[in-house]
Chains A and B, each alone.
Chain A
Amino acid sequence: EVQLVESGGGLVQPGGSLRLSCAASGFTFSSYEMNWVRQAPGKGLEWVSYISSSGSTIYYADSVKGRFTISRDNAKNSLYLQMNSLRAEDTAVYYCATTVRYDAFDIWGQGTMVTVSS
């Protein structure tokens, strides 16, 4: 079964850091680009970051550029999001998503909640 499982969310103070992980299974992880998408409570979806299958191409939304770092370990079938200088507006459910069968996001994890609050 194709599956993505996020972990690492939690409560963090403003200015703090957190590292999210996304474990992939059921497909050849190293062949597929990956993304992070977030959703603030009661709000819509916001694309956060993209990484190519090899990790050589990376993109970020302007809202997180310079603060978040996406990376992957193809040997461990894992995707990461290092989040630094966190702000209250970064509070959201963070999903990892990929494009296995189609060129749109057809596989999503269940999400992990990040709360930035003092």
Chain B
Amino acid sequence: EIVLTQSPGTLSLSPGERATLSCRASQSVSSSYLAWYQQKPGQAPRLLIYGASSRATGIPDRFSGSGSGTDFTLTISRLEPEDFAVYYCQQYGSSPEYTFGQGTKLEIK
């Protein structure tokens, strides 16, 4: 089973700052089948990034994903007030497991 470890657990930043979130896998994630989701309280998760670096439709270009193998990063170039939420990475290349990381909470400083 591939285990995804996200860091930090909580990130405190101010609007306008740059956010860097990390996701490390216990084994190589095949074909960069790594996704990032955003979840706000009381809402379902929303897909931001798939294939490690491709933005889903409607996602602002301040969100970017990078990485391969076991190390992946989600970067938000300039934080907007609506970006403060919990972010999860997920690997979906290793059937039958579609494991999620434990999440990073991005909070307003």
Q: Point out residues on A near B: beta carbons under 8 Å.
A: 35, 44-47, 50, 59-61, 95, 101-106, 108-111
0/1 string, B31-67, CB within 8 A of A gives 1: 0010101010000111100110010110000000000
Please give the distance in Å from A112's CB to the nearest CB on chain B: 11
Q: Contact size class for B?
A: 20 to 34
Task: Name the prevailing secondary structure of the B interface residues.
Answer: loop
Q: Across the interface, do B101 and A44 meet the contact criterion of CB distance under 8 Å?
A: yes
| Closest A residue by C-beta to B93 | A103
Contacts A47-B99, A95-B44, A105-B90 supplied; 8 other A-B pairs, CB < 8 Å? A45-B39, A59-B96, A102-B47, A104-B51, A104-B92, A105-B45, A105-B92, A106-B56
Q: Across the interface, do A106 and B95 meet the contact criterion of CB distance under 8 Å?
A: no
Q: Is B88 an interface residue (CB 8 A)?
A: yes
